């Protein structure tokens, strides 16, 4: 494990979102011009199959042309994905022990906890991703108790803060 790259495996339904749309999210979500200071933090794509490879190469070329600068993101061969240890999972929720305990009670089986869309979305909100408006639209679907909802709402929509749409888009909840 000494020469690993921290990564996220994205499993998606091409009928719901295209690989090309995912590539747009990928390029907008990081700085591909940043030189990684360790291989572990390398920006990389691991396309699966020839169609994804061609799309990834094309999108990298388009991104380089758009930025008019060198792109350090690498396109690497598809390889086995190994999930990080449990203590690395849902990292933002781990800093909010009350919320974490609620979800661990709802999903006592770690596989169910990891597979939960609600847990994943709450983790994103706890980490500062998403908007107050989107959060308020989906709060009931996150499975939290009234106290848990209030705690997460105070994180996402702090008291006194304006409750308007921030710039950027939230992820689809599908």
162, pLDDT greater than 50? yes
Q: What is the pLDDT of residue 86?
A: 81
- Domains, the chain: 1-82 (3.30.1060.10), 86-156 (no CATH)
Confidence of residue 48 (pLDDT cuts 50, 70, 90): very high
Would you say residue 166 has pLDDT above 70? no
Q: What is the percentage of the chain residues whose pLDDT exceeds 70?
A: 91
| Rounded alpha-carbon distances, angstroms, from residue 39 to 6, 42, 53, 82, 112 | 9, 5, 21, 16, 31
The yes-or-no verdict on residue 170 having pLDDT over 60 is no
**DSSP letters spanning 4-37:** ----------TTTS-HHHHHHHHHHTS-TTSPPS
pLDDT at residue 173 in the model? 45
Share of residues in the chain with pLDDT > 90 (%): 62
Tokens of 22: 């995912």
Residue 76 burial class via C-beta count within 10 angstroms: exposed 0-12, middle 13-18, buried 19 and up: middle
Distance set, CA 143 to CA 64, 93, 108 (Å):
42, 14, 14
At 164 the pLDDT is: 47
Q: How many CB atoms lie within 10 A of CB 6?
A: 12
Kindly state the tokens that stand for 4. Answer: 């690993």
Q: Note the pLDDT of residue 165.
A: 41
122 closest CA partner among 147, 92, 145: 92
């Amino acid at each position: 494990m000494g020469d690993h790259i921290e990564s996220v495996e994205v499993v998606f339904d091409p009928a719901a979102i295209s690989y090309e749309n995912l590539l747009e999210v990928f390029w907008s979500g990081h700085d591909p011009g940043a030189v990684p200071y360790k291989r572990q933090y390398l920006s990389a794509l691991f396309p699966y199959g020839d169609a994804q490879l061609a799309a990834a190469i094309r999108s990298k070329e388009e991104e380089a042309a758009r930025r008019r600068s060198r792109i350090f993101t690498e396109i690497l061969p598809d390889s086995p994905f190994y999930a990080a240890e449990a203590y690395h999972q849902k990292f933002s929720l781990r800093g909010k022990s009350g919320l974490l305990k609620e979800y661990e009670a709802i999903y006592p089986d770690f596989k169910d906890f990891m597979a939960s869309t609600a847990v994943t979305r709450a983790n994103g909100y706890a980490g500062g991703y998403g908007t107050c408006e989107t959060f308020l639209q989906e709060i009931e679907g996150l499975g939290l108790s009234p106290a848990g909802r209030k705690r997460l709402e105070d994180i996402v929509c702090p008291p006194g803060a304006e409750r308007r749409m921030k710039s950027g888009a939230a992820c689809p909840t599908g």
